[in-house]
Structure 1
Amino acid sequence: MSWVAEDTVRAQQSRPVSKHKSCCRVGRADTGPASPPGESRRRPRAWARAPVGQRSQDELWERSMTAARQIRARAGHLHVPRQHREDVDGELLGLGSFVANARRKDAKLSPERRESLNALGMLW
């Protein structure tokens, strides 16, 4: 080996190993004990099934629309700051973020949802 190749080898050996690569290697002491044969090391997906008290997207949309109708009746408009929270049946809903997200995703909304917001006087 020439002196250039030896310096290259020494430089490669002295480089720090990325934490990501070292912690993800199977069988390393810092990753915990190995799984018994036949069992997977994978963690169960938390989002695979909704918790018991969680609502569907359609239910959340209807709750947010109820809040939007409520503020429209009270104030006459839907101009609310992003941090605005509206009380609907004792539950505080993030109406400001709902309105802001609807404006941001207006092209992706279904025609029915877009029409329901238009009926409330939504300014896009």
Structure 2
Amino acid sequence: MRAARKYGLEILSDNIGPGLYLGHAHNINVSPLAKIGKNCNLNKGCTIGRENRGKRIGAPTLGDDVWVGSNCMVVGNIHIGNDVLIAPNAYVNFDVPDHSIIIGNPAKIIKKENATDSYITMRI
């Protein structure tokens, strides 16, 4: 609890796969309903949050090898595929296929094999 208050971390370990890396671990918020795959990286200021109304009620599911940049928001009952890089400051509220880079607000999908190569370096 002290670490959570000091660093602004709101994250539970119930639905998190092995190899989670918190880069510059400050102000990271993860809904207790979210599911995070293995070897995912969450960076400063990102939110993996739920939506409380509308057609995307619920929290995101992140696949394996997902890199979430600083100040990103990933919200709603959506699925983020494997090997996905979400660029800093992106707002994502839609499903993302495997091997993609997500950039911007509104976010755009750019297909790319090995999207997280050189970003996720310590895989389990």
Q: Which TM-score tier does this pair reach, normalised by the shorter chain?
A: under 0.3
When normalised by structure 2's length, the TM-score is 0.20
| Bigger RCO (CA 8 Å, 6+ sep) | 2
When normalised by structure 1's length, the TM-score is 0.20
Q: Which has the higher helix share?
A: 1
